[in-house]
Amino acid sequence: MYSADLADVYERIYQSRGKDWGAEAVLVDEVVRRHRPAARTLLDVACGTGAHLEALSRRFAHVEGLELAEPMRERARLRLPGVHIRAGDMRDFDLHTTFDAITCMFCSIAYVDTVEEMRAAIGGMARHLAPGGVLVVEPWWFPEQFIEGYVAGDLARGEDLTIARISHSTLDGRATRMEVRFLVADESGIREFVEIDRLTLFTREEYESAFRDAGCSIEFLPGPPTGRGLFVGIRQ
């Protein structure tokens, strides 16, 4: 997953669905400053193409990104040449520094496979927080919210490119298995590719336990930015 094919169309297709990385960065900034008004440094874990990070860089004095998928990471580096975009896995990383705020957005946390891996990721992020620092994590849906057989379709059209995205979700153990098919048309013709996403359905209690055991207080803010809410932890 997160192939070069997907990285090429990633932002356009989600923009067509109404995603606004700038507005989400404003929300994150408000959440962070509610708890740490003078926050200056931020790490975005699973930063993708750097869309959130670009907007956050206008609100924090120093930002960095961590990204596992090379195609996404390279686009983030091109977008933000003055920002350190590190290669790394959220389950096992050590940057030898701490931050006032850490974010993990757009349900990236759900791409780990087990509760133990999720706890390792939350624990690693918490270890990179300064005392009193703020951890903001956007989850995937909780198990009781899963809809078997859910389908979605989207179309992004521009002067030089048209992208169709169709997805179908089924339950695979404790995870959503989402098959996503893309059709991409440009001046060279039409191409098709398939991405298989597997997003684990962790419970709210499992997330909250992971935060507490990592030494953070925990608050769940339902709703924004994408209907799944945000977990907000403060390192004690």
SS3 category, 72:
helix
Dihedrals phi, psi of 12, to nearest 5 degrees = -65, -40
User: Domain residue spans in the chain?
Assistant: 4-141+203-235, 143-200
**Average pLDDT taken over every residue of the chain:** 97
Check whether 1 has a pLDDT greater than 70.
Answer: no
Strands of the chain, DSSP E:
41-45, 62-67, 84-87, 99-104, 129-137, 151-157, 162-172, 175-186, 189-200, 216-221, 230-235
pTM over 0.75: yes
> What pLDDT digit, counting tens, does each position of 105-160 carry?
999 999 999 999 999 999 999 999 999 999 999 999 999 999 999 999 999 999 89
Closest among 217, 212, 231 to 28, alpha carbons compared: 231
* Domain at 143-200: CATH architecture: Single Sheet (2.20)
In the structure, what pLDDT confidence band is assigned to residue 2 with cuts at 50, 70 and 90? confident
Q: How far apart are CA 142 and CA 45, in angstroms?
A: 21
CATH class of the 4-141+203-235 domain in this structure: alpha beta
For residues 11-36, average pLDDT: 97
pLDDT recorded at residue 9: 95
pLDDT recorded at residue 109: 98
